[in-house]
Amino acid sequence: MDDTDRIGSSTAPPASHFPATRPSLVEQAAHGDPETAARAIRELCAIYHEPIRHWLARNLPQVRERDDAVQGFVEHLLQQNRFRNFQWGTAKFRSFLIKCLKWYLRGEHRKGEAEKRGAGAEPVNLGDVEVGQPAETDQPLDRELALAVHRRVMARLAAERYAAEEPKATRLQALRPSLFGDTANVSQAEIATRLGMTVGAVSKAAFDLRDAYFEFLRDEVMQIATPDGVAEEMRYLGTLLAQVEAPDFP
């Protein structure tokens, strides 16, 4: 696998990859033909790349080459499709994914343990990782997932709804602070002056942006949540995004 195949870019796929309705990526990964499953696994891993890196940093700081670990995990998933074992309703998909990551890391540790000890290096200690238990889904992991999904949604908005002409792209950037109802830093009057619009027109444009945002957010969440958990997952990820400080918001 060359560098062009490496997973982890935060750039969303082209708009043509997002039809109005599509099977869940998890379903495609678990039950699709080999080509479809491989494509779905790559897309799922692109979504989860940063959340997994942050999970490694927090839980296994001994794993220093985190990008390589994530990439090795992706290759492992492509070679042995563990997603076929995922069952809707048993756990959140990200919990299942972290469980697979733990199994992978433990296997890599065992394979390399003798060589590392022979070289006098301290092996990675996975003894405190309960592989058989459901993975925790604490806020740091979930926040990174929320940001990853948010970036995909914003890329889609830029490509599909606000790219037809330059004023639309400018409008998208100006209205971003109002996505979650945050008008503390920039008032609609200021935005109206900047864009040469009336306050009423800015209010309508902000409403339309939020409507389109949550339409795309729902589409993204449907790919990674159990079918009966989409509404709850949207509320949860939306709450996490609304808590992000403005200067750090992507």
Q: What is the pLDDT of residues 113-134, one digit of tens each?
A: 656 555 555 544 444 444 334 4
Check whether residue 218 and residue 178 sit in a common domain: yes
Among 104, 135, 166, residue at a domain's last position: 135
pLDDT at 7: 41
Contact 180, 238 (CB under 8 A): yes
| Co-location of 172 and 54 in the same domain | no
145 and 126, same structural domain?
Answer: no
Residues 119 and 16 reside in one and the same domain: yes
Give me the pLDDT at residue 194, please: 87
Q: What is the pLDDT, as a whole number, of residue 87?
A: 75
Q: Are residues 80 and 145 in the same domain?
A: no
Whole-number Å distance between alpha carbons of 191 and 174 = 6
Residue 127 shares a structural domain with residue 11: yes
Identify the segments of the chain with pLDDT beneath 50.
1-21, 123-137, 184, 246-248
The CA-based angle 44-73-222, given to 5 degrees, is 15
Give the integer Cα–Cα distance in Å for 177 and 213: 13
Residue that finishes a domain, picked among 135, 170, 190: 135
Instruction: Report pLDDT for 89.
Output: 67
Can you give the residue range of the structural domain that contains 121? 3-135
Place of tokens 């733990």: 102
The verdict on 124 and 164 lying in the same domain is no
Kindly state whether residues 47 and 75 are assigned to the same domain: yes
Examine the domain organization and report whether 165 and 57 are in the same domain: no
pLDDT score at 153: 93
Determine the number of helices (DSSP H) and then strands (DSSP E) in the chain: 9, 0
Number of domains observed in the structure of the chain? 2
- pLDDT for 246: 45
- Co-location of 7 and 118 in the same domain: yes
The whole-number pLDDT of residue 247 equals: 39
pLDDT of residue 182: 56
The domain boundary, picked from 74, 104, 135, lies at 135
Chain-centre distance for alpha carbon 125: 28
Same domain, 202 and 228: yes
Same domain, 190 and 96: no
Q: The whole model's pTM is what?
A: 0.70
